[in-house]
A and B are shown apart, each in its own frame.
Chain A
């Protein structure tokens, strides 16, 4: 118990004194996971909408794959991204292994199926006649899709939260493809693992508290946006 209190004390100390290293790690976490979420939103919303609105042979299979992907274990992603990014790997020419960019890539891979799956479900859950009505009112296809996505924006914000929440707290892939290099590719989760291993439990607890606060504030903002307008 003392340890936890000491950790909390340390967390606030680190936050209020704006400890440079902790601040750097926190901003990097935010930036890496934020960028990865953004990438996953572009890919996920597009893919999810397309799959939701089209019918093609093998669609069931695609939906199953997406749904399985929502639970992709980060270490598995980490392993494959590492192998892909190795010098002799198919993406080795990018030369980004053990950099923050590699973490962004791995996290985007983890978040994309989550965003895709939720987008797919929320677009499909819109009343079936809505689509017909929009088209009947003379909208073009693009306008129709835009309206549907707009109509599904509340669950889509849930997709943002789920995606971001999933990757900001992820450690397996970050440590494998980022390398946890001090002042360069160290993020909150990898730093926590390292400090725990070293036995610096107070710092580890402090880092976890910062991580939770960060996740809380991001989600609070998103929830604020989501709840401001109640669904009719």
Chain B
């Protein structure tokens, strides 16, 4: 009796490490890998995973990513912990490159921000042509507005839109979502609960469209385009950074017939419209722009 369960336990014990070593064998095959710090939006939308998967299939190189707001992602990269950053806040990115932490900004893709609000539109901004006009109206009417408020790319973009409108938003109508750093999805959901206005990226809106009642009120303003760039971390500053492999991944993602095509088609099937738009230099050339 005793012996039997000891044998069973031993079996159990050997089973787990056995699985483990199998996995190790798999790991050692591709001892090359890339560490990517990415803004949360495209991870949640699934496009980061799709790009990584496509790249791994072709090269066998695994990309390990971690999600954080653009501000936080850049901050971690400033300590040399990553090979590559995917960010979407021009001003922060430029500061990162100027500080010598990154070598350059490489255009990858963009999506756009939209101004969402209750379908009843109490502030009456529907159909306005510019974000500036709409935000001025929201502020003037003191309509409840939710901000992500966490220095993420989304928040920085929102602040830039306010700046463009010439307004410093403050007051009881301007609510900073305290859990904003958990991402755009939760922020949008919160705005939906509060029946408030908010600025959010289209990909997040499309992903949650079915379960929220907020509607797009203002869109397609040039000022609301949300450009995402890749920044390789400076190897001269951090010798442990694996620049060669990071550049290989960047090359793959920006290539017209590889990453860019994947970006163009991503989400079309599920949502009926694309979530992201390819924007690499090579892609723009191929489009004759």
Which residues on A are within 8 Å of B, measured CB to CB? Answer: 31, 34-35, 37-38, 86-88, 92, 95, 97-101, 104, 179-185, 194, 197-199, 225, 228-229
Of the candidates A98, A104, A228, the one whose C-beta lies within 8 Å of that of B65 is: A98
- The smallest C-beta distance from A208 to any residue of chain B, in angstroms, reads 18
In the complex, B160 has a CB within 8 A of chain A: no
Nearest CB on A from B255, distance (A): 23
B35–A88 CB distance below 8 A = no
Q: In the complex, what distance in Å separates the CA atom of A197 from the CA atom of B53?
A: 23
Complex Cα spacing A158 to B66, Å: 35
Give Cα A85–Cα B81 distance, bound, in whole angstroms: 10
Besides A31-B23, A98-B64, A198-B44, 4 new A-B residue pairs in contact (Cβ under 8 A), listed by A number: A87-B240, A98-B65, A182-B49, A198-B207
B53 and A199: CB pair below 8 A? no
Asked whether, in the complex, the Cβ of A87 is within 8 Å of the Cβ of B49, the reply is no
Q: A98-B66, A229-B1 are in contact. Are A35 and B17 (CB under 8 A)?
A: yes
B119 at interface by CB-CB < 8 Å: no
Which one of B2, B16, B64 contacts A99 once the chains associate, using CB atoms below 8 Å? B64
Structural contact, A34 and B185, CB atoms closer than 8 A: no
Complex Cα distance, B26 from A31, in Å, reads: 15
Measured in the bound complex, the distance between the Cα atoms of B176 and A187 in whole Å is 32
Q: How far is the CB of B17 from chain A (nearest CB, A)?
A: 7
Within the complex, the shortest CB–CB distance from A150 to chain B, in Å, comes to: 9
A183 to B49, CA, bound (A): 9
Bound Cα distance A197, B5 (Å): 42
In the complex, what residues of A have CB within 8 A of residue B17's CB?
A: 35, 38
**What are 17 A-B contacts with C-beta separation under 8 Å?**
A31-B16, A35-B19, A38-B17, A86-B79, A88-B81, A88-B240, A98-B35, A98-B65, A100-B23, A181-B49, A181-B52, A183-B49, A183-B53, A184-B62, A197-B44, A197-B182, A198-B185
Interchain CA distance A34-B14 in the complex, whole Å: 10
Q: B211 near A: Cβ within 8 Å?
A: yes
CB distance from A203 to the nearest CB of B (A): 13
B64 touches A197 (CB 8 A): no
Q: Is B186 an interface residue (CB 8 A)?
A: yes
Q: How far is the CB of B232 from chain A (nearest CB, A)?
A: 15
A197-B81 CB under 8 A given contacts A87-B238, A98-B65, A225-B9: no
Report the bound CA distance from A183 to B17 in whole Å.
20
Please name all residues of chain B whose beta carbon is closer than 8 Å to the beta carbon of A199 when the two chains form the complex: 185, 189, 208, 211
- Give A185 to B19 CA distance when docked, in angstroms: 15
Q: Are B238 and A35 in contact (CB under 8 A)?
A: no
Task: List chain A residues, Cβ under 8 A from B66.
Answer: 98, 179
Select A228's contact among B5, B13, B15, B81, beta carbons within 8 Å: B5
Tell me, in angstroms, the Cα distance from A23 to B56 when the chains sit together: 21
Give chain B interface residues in 6-27, CB to chain A under 8 Å.
8-9, 13, 15-17, 19-20, 23, 27
Complex: A104 Cα to B185 Cα, angstroms = 29
Contacts of A37 in B (CB 8 A): 16
Give B36-90 interface residues, CB cut-off 8 Å to A: 44, 46, 49, 52-53, 62, 64-67, 79-81
Which B residues between 173 and 195 are near A, CB-CB below 8 angstroms? 182-183, 185-186, 189
B101 to chain A, nearest CB (A): 14
Bound Cα distance A104, B23 (Å) = 13
Quick one: given A35-B17, A38-B16, A38-B17, are A86 and B81 in contact (CB under 8 Å)?
A: yes
Residues of A within 8 A of B20 (CB): 31, 35, 104
In the docked arrangement, what's the CA distance between A100 and B27, Å?
A: 10
Task: Tell me the minimal C-beta distance from A224 to chain B in angstroms.
Answer: 9
Chain A neighbourhood of B44, CB < 8 A = 194, 197-198
Residues of B within 8 A of A35 (CB): 16-17, 19-20
A37 to chain B, nearest CB (A): 8
The minimal Cβ–Cβ distance linking B246 to chain A, given in whole angstroms, is 13
Contact between B5 and A88, CB atoms less than 8 A apart:
no
Indicate if the CB atoms of A197 and B65 lie closer than 8 Å: no
- Provide the bound-state CA to CA distance between A100 and B16, in Å: 14
In contact, B80 and A87 (Cβ under 8 angstroms): yes
B65 touching A181 by the CB < 8 A rule? yes
Q: How far is the CB of B175 from chain A (nearest CB, A)?
A: 19
Please state if A229 and B185 are interface contacts (CB–CB under 8 Å). no
Q: Which residue of B lies closest to A41 (CB)?
A: B13
Minimal Cβ-Cβ distance residue in A for B182: A197
The answer to whether B81 and A87 touch across the interface, beta carbons within 8 angstroms, is: yes
Known: A183-B53, A184-B62. Is A197-B186 also a contact (CB below 8 A)? Answer: yes
| Chain B residue at minimal CB-CB distance from A92 | B240
B8 x A225 contact (CB < 8 A): yes
* A216 CB to nearest chain B CB (Å): 16
Which residue, of A38, A86, A87, has the highest number of chain B Cβ atoms within 10 A? Answer: A87
